[in-house]
Structure 1
Amino acid sequence: MDHIPFGDTPVSRCHFYRRVCDLPANVDPPHLGRIVMKAEHVWAMVLPAHLGQAVKTNMQQRGSDIGPILSHPRSNRWAYLVRPDIPDDVRLFAEMFRLNVSVVRTGGTVALPSPADHAAQFRRWIEPPRCMFRPSGLVVVDAIRACSAQYRPVRRWAAHV
């Protein structure tokens, strides 16, 4: 989807997202051609791009299917589209918050790449959606934990005598 074929419009792209990928996408506002998705049966996990790349590599090494990932180049963040199976757990959300990861849950909005976006500077697909598959949110959480553990500094406590 990085190269826009003849006839690719925000409306046709939105139909593709809805029919083939089961993403509840709409063109909003129509005069700008921006495509947005209300989080319902699809959630998103938004994280720094460097962590997103590490998570993708980790999932591939584990043999997990990746699913759709989009990039927001201006904010240097990636968004994984996931199944809504992340429990409503304050400790989990606090852990993700400390890692600069946010979860877009039911009612939230996710902007999707549109052919109206200029030169992919707003949004672009890292892994485009090809079907209805999305990974479990919990699988992505596990990969985030595994990758972030590599970057955590080791705390050394000095013994006071």
Structure 2
Amino acid sequence: MTGRITMRAGLVGAVMMPTELAHRVRTTLDVRGVAPLPIIGHPRATMWTFLVRGDIVPIGDPAEVARLWAARVVVIRDGDIALPSPAPDPLMIRTWISPAISAFRPSGSVVLECARQCLAGQPRR
């Protein structure tokens, strides 16, 4: 047994992004009153994953897709989402930043839009 816990994306999806951007997105969502926010941290990769409703539609604008790609924002609509193990993780691969305490998941579209807004305030690389 590896202790690895995964869930299949579908009704629940995920939006993964670098921790620095994720802090700003969480603050923006807090201001909007979107809570609770189930968030998984990936300390070694300096990434956070927001667990969201699977309501994100594909982005049609190639420039926007490229901007999100360059910012390391990843949308998970299909496949497996890795969750933190309830057992102690000596390697700190995944941990709860904000545990899933209810069935509520924020809209994936809203989380992605907040990420876009936060990125709009940054100079392009």
Same-fold status (TM-score > 0.5):
yes
Greater share of strand: 2
2:123 matched to which residue of 1? 152
1:48 matched to which residue of 2? 18
User: Which residue among 80, 84, 94 is the counterpart of 1:113?
Assistant: 84
Matched, 1:125 2:96: yes
Aligned residues: 123
User: Which residue among 82, 89, 93 is the counterpart of 2:59?
Assistant: 89
**Secondary structure, aligned partner of 2:28:** helix
Q: Distance in 2 between matches of 1:41 and 1:71?
A: 21
1:6 matched to which residue of 2? none
Q: Deviations over 1:73-92 (max 9, x none)?
A: 11010000111111123425
TM-score, with structure 1 as normaliser: 0.69
TM-score, with structure 2 as normaliser: 0.87
Q: Deviations over 1:105-150 (max 9, x none)?
A: 12x1111011234247111111100111000011101211121122
User: Which residue among 104, 107, 110 is the counterpart of 1:136?
Assistant: 107
Q: Cα 1:110–1:34, aligned 2, differ >3 Å: closer, same or farther?
A: same
1:59 and 1:66 in contact (8 A); partners too = no
Question: Structure 2, unaligned stretches of length 5 or more?
Answer: none
Instruction: Decide which structure has the larger Cα Rg and report it.
Output: 1
Q: Cα 1:61–1:120, aligned 2, differ >3 Å: closer, same or farther?
A: farther
Amino acid in structure 1 at the alignment position of 2:73? V
Identity %: 40
Structure 1 residue 66: Cα displacement: 4.2
**Secondary structure, aligned partner of 1:74:** helix
